[in-house]
A and B are shown apart, each in its own frame.
Chain A
């Protein structure tokens, strides 16, 4: 039995708001207690269910969701609803259908997160099958490439970092997300698992606990994030005062927070530290840090002691209660779902959150999925819904909610339906698309996301681009399995041994610093000693790392060239991905597609030259080597980079470039220009 020590205090957040720029009087907020729990969005019809939500998490029935014919019917229904709305707008006409090569590039970017390889492009473009688009959609939705791109979507939403709160290893969380996608776990089940996650975080299969590790020590932020991501509502303003523009009060906020009050992230390095001090008066200096690392992997767990009530904060400023009053957990829509003090609070919370009768849950995911493929949501922004929010197409929104329930939250089926619509397959709109009153007469042009650009360049660089993976959390799971039953004393002994080795390494660093200084000043005689010390350090490193016995012996690090989903999440500032706007995953959905000159510098002068055009081993170079005729080389460049054949004009121009470029660098000129081109940068 491990005694556990609580993680530190909540980060002081309140400094900002209460003393912030707004002074909100009560005058505009009278009667704002949620008004009886109604949460119909204007223009939409919801059956009014205040009935008891299911006590257990929704089961996944073996009954199948609609078969192929019904999915097709759904696509047609969507088209009818979209077209009806377009017809009502004076002067608005739907765009023509995409040509095959436009569809090809778009569907790969959207469902595979990258451009197609030459072979993939060739296969589609030369196929004569009438239903080749449908087949491609199905193929991509169940591909490993799709796992990669859906991971980005989830990771941005859930802020799934390789290191959570700068303390915990996020790899189990990342692996859990990927595996859930791979298995096509229904969305409602995934969300339920996240909300109800508990227990040891590094136990195999329990990665959903990352949901709480990400906000460890900040349970109220966690709840605000939950509401934002799954219920499409910004509650966070109400953490410190009645919400300035929506109906939520501060009390509402705390009553929601009550559901996870008592859920905590705990670690056990305190136990190990104490055991170390008991065992020895000479604890190695590095041992504390190693103990912390062990505590934060082996010992980290999410407790499930939710009590169903919370004390109002000491600075509660409204007349309807006193600071310190205990309030009962209550949903923000005023559903009193905790009937019995013995209820499992979090399970009830999870069930309510993911229930079909929850008025926002399904609408939010339907809208998110619509936006993911159609680029603009029926409700924008995605996560600021209020009672008077009107979707741009209310009937369509209602239908999408029904569809999501009909497919039982199977996101692949939902996406298949959308991709098979005419609406999805229309050409891009040549002018500006109005973001807020948009009727999907075509696709609005979008810059490729950071991950899409990088992954596309990876497609030109490495073979088997979807198969090159990072190591995953396997060593952590093994470490957990191998050590979970050890007592603090046993762990202390392991940690101290590692600490000794690390101390030796650190001591050598001091000497190395001086020697390297001397070397820099021109004294070469110290070189031998430097190498000797470095050798000793290398030999000691395995002993200083408590995870050494658990690393996969067969695993070979594939290096930095792999898809974004297989790299650390997120990458460090300065890396290509961050330069192109990859989310820092500290804020929900904060990836950026804005353009700035560091991106141009990167594409013009960076790895494109060294790793793609300048390296004979790159996939692109290998493909070019297969053809001799310069005109064929032009074709290879176009199909590989832009996923289409060159036009006659382009062929003519390319021919000239190949013939006239100095130093026979025609391929470099053309390849470089195509990769830097606007057509490459945008998803038509």
Chain B
């Protein structure tokens, strides 16, 4: 073992990376003592698990930006206006670049982008409480106290390899404690959380006062001290421990982590996306998608407008409008839109009936979602509600169907049965039926 004396002065980041790279493990972490995916329980009879083969998209989108409107977005005021009826309220409907398709007046910027988007106005759920409905929307399953289901981010990274060697496959921006994360899949599939988009990933930089050279030195000491322990135990866990540090250092040293630094964008771009958490999150998402992060999950809250709905929406929907339209325009200009499926969803809609406090209440029975980019035909509406929005009129899309549609767009296997650690079989969208026709090939 070379004495540290020789290394302390020479060590630079590049050299450290070279020495680490030489050890060339690069094997993905397999939890040795944690819950293995196929561990335990009696194997179920494969014949009983058979699920009818699901359609598979030929040219799938390889990226997804999943925008979750938390609180229950009022769909009548945004995606499914009912002008001329008593349920419309004081906000008007506006026309968009897509022929015959209208949006609420708070969505003027998005209106200009509608050629690449499809509105699904026939979404229907049976969950009217925030926690259960959010979970249902994110996982296609109702929450039960006996297991946890994976989010779409985890599924997509479970089925498909990471596009970028050093960056994680999934990132979660502004997500809360109720995000299902990796569910019963291995924790490495959980999206990496970013709280404040202007601050990036927690702990990704060396501590204050420690420059990269010192970091390299310290890692050298660490490697030296670890040798004996690693050698004493001939275990996968040793490799796992080493890999964990290897991956972390790769990420820290990655030229791609500057993707997390949105300050690198011009003021004009910041202004276009909007100087608020959601706008910054969208901007960060665009940068990450460019660098090869497969799935970005952004939460935008403030939609639970039981009272003062129309005033409060000005800010909340205004931010959505700004960030979403900027994202679509930007992705389009950079030639990324075809390959990136953008989804705008919420756990439920809000009542057509306006209540005594000038608000709208929870309404899961009939509400809306939007899909954009990702090779959609676009510029259209799928499904509809009746005149006053109280029921789905045609082409009902239940939550598993909506998620199946998204998964189909991303080329994920809808029919693959995965056994959870406690022996239960699951498919990623609970056998929902995708609306295949929304997409081109």
Q: Could you list which residues of chain A lie within 8 angstroms of chain B, going by C-beta atoms?
A: 11-13, 15-16, 19-24, 159, 166, 215, 218, 221, 224-225, 228, 234, 236-237, 244-245, 380-381, 384, 428, 430-432, 435, 444-447, 572-574, 581, 584, 586-588, 590, 592-602, 604-606, 609-610, 614, 650, 653, 656-657, 660-662, 665, 668-670, 672-674, 676-679, 681-682
Given A24-B48, A573-B193, A669-B218, A587–B148 Cβ distance below 8 Å? yes
Within 8 Å by CB of B430, from A20, A221, A604, A657, lies A20
Cα A574 to Cα B41 with chains together (Å): 32
A-B contact pairs, 10 of them (CB 8 A): A21-B49, A22-B48, A224-B146, A244-B48, A574-B193, A604-B206, A609-B208, A653-B3, A662-B214, A672-B218
Q: Chain B residues near A594 (CB, 8 Å)?
A: 29, 31, 33-35, 186-188
B33 touches A447 (CB 8 A): yes
A656 touches B3 (CB 8 A): yes
Chain B interface, DSSP helix/strand/loop, else mixed: loop
Cβ-closest chain B residue relative to A234: B422
Question: Can you list, as one digit per residue, whether each of B248-284 has a CB less than 8 Å from chain A (1) or not (0)?
Answer: 1101100000000000000000000000000000000
Within 8 Å by CB of A609, from B181, B195, B207, lies B207
A445 touches B144 (CB 8 A): no
Q: Is B23 an interface residue (CB 8 A)?
A: no
Q: Chain B residues near A20 (CB, 8 Å)?
A: 425, 430
Given A221-B145, A661-B8, A662-B8, A597–B217 Cβ distance below 8 Å? no
Given A245-B42, A430-B234, A447-B237, A599–B177 Cβ distance below 8 Å? no
Q: Is B19 an interface residue (CB 8 A)?
A: no
CB distance from B427 to the nearest CB of A (A): 6
Chain B: interface residue total (CB-CB under 8 A) = 90
Q: Chain A residues near B221 (CB, 8 Å)?
A: 657, 669-670, 672-673
Cβ-closest chain B residue relative to A606: B203
CB distance from B171 to the nearest CB of A (A): 12
A445 touches B233 (CB 8 A): yes
Cα A656 to Cα B431 with chains together (Å): 63
Q: Which 4 A-B pairs have the closest CB atoms?
A: A594-B34, A594-B31, A600-B248, A609-B207
Cβ-closest chain B residue relative to A431: B234
A609 touches B41 (CB 8 A): no
B240 touches A677 (CB 8 A): no
B241 touches A678 (CB 8 A): yes
Q: Is B247 an interface residue (CB 8 A)?
A: yes
B226 touches A678 (CB 8 A): yes
Given A593-B34, A681-B241; 6 other pairs, CB 8 A cutoff: A11-B142, A435-B39, A584-B148, A605-B207, A661-B8, A678-B229
Within 8 Å by CB of B202, from A13, A23, A574, lies A574
Q: Chain B residues near A215 (CB, 8 Å)?
A: 145
Q: Which of A430, A670, A673, A682 has the most CB atoms of chain B within a 10 A radius of its CB?
A: A673
Q: Is B333 an interface residue (CB 8 A)?
A: no
Given A447-B237, A604-B203, A665-B214, A599–B431 Cβ distance below 8 Å? no
CB distance from A403 to the nearest CB of B (A): 27
Q: Chain A residues near B204 (CB, 8 Å)?
A: 601, 605
Cβ-closest chain B residue relative to A13: B144
Within 8 Å by CB of A15, from B142, B210, B224, lies B142
Q: Chain A residues near B226 (CB, 8 Å)?
A: 677-679
Given A13-B144, A21-B431, A601–B248 Cβ distance below 8 Å? yes
B248 touches A657 (CB 8 A): no
CB distance from A622 to the nearest CB of B (A): 20
Cβ-closest chain A residue relative to B421: A381
B235 touches A445 (CB 8 A): yes
CB distance from B170 to the nearest CB of A (A): 12
Q: Chain A residues near B41 (CB, 8 Å)?
A: 245, 381, 384
| Interface residues in B31-51 (C-beta closer than 8 Å to A) | 31-35, 39-42, 44, 48-49, 51
Cα A584 to Cα B183 with chains together (Å): 11
Q: Chain A residues near B424 (CB, 8 Å)?
A: 237
Cα A156 to Cα B32 with chains together (Å): 21
Cβ-closest chain A residue relative to B42: A245
Given A445-B233, A581-B187, A678–B238 Cβ distance below 8 Å? yes
Q: Is B27 an interface residue (CB 8 A)?
A: no
A432 touches B235 (CB 8 A): yes
Q: Chain A residues near B208 (CB, 8 Å)?
A: 609-610
A225 touches B222 (CB 8 A): no
CB distance from B304 to the nearest CB of A (A): 13
Q: Chain A residues near B247 (CB, 8 Å)?
A: 597, 600
CB distance from A373 to the nearest CB of B (A): 16
Within 8 Å by CB of B244, from A15, A221, A597, lies A597
A445 touches B248 (CB 8 A): no
Cα A387 to Cα B173 with chains together (Å): 47
Q: Chain B residues near A218 (CB, 8 Å)?
A: 145
Within 8 Å by CB of B233, from A166, A225, A430, A605, lies A430
Cβ-closest chain A residue relative to B247: A597
Q: Which of B179, B230, B232 has the most CB atoms of chain A within a 10 A radius of its CB?
A: B232
Q: Chain A residues near B238 (CB, 8 Å)?
A: 678
B202 touches A573 (CB 8 A): no
Within 8 Å by CB of A593, from B33, B144, B177, lies B33
Cα A380 to Cα B417 with chains together (Å): 24
CB distance from B240 to the nearest CB of A (A): 5
Q: Is B161 an interface residue (CB 8 A)?
A: no
B423 touches A245 (CB 8 A): yes
Q: Is B143 an interface residue (CB 8 A)?
A: yes
Cα A676 to Cα B229 with chains together (Å): 13
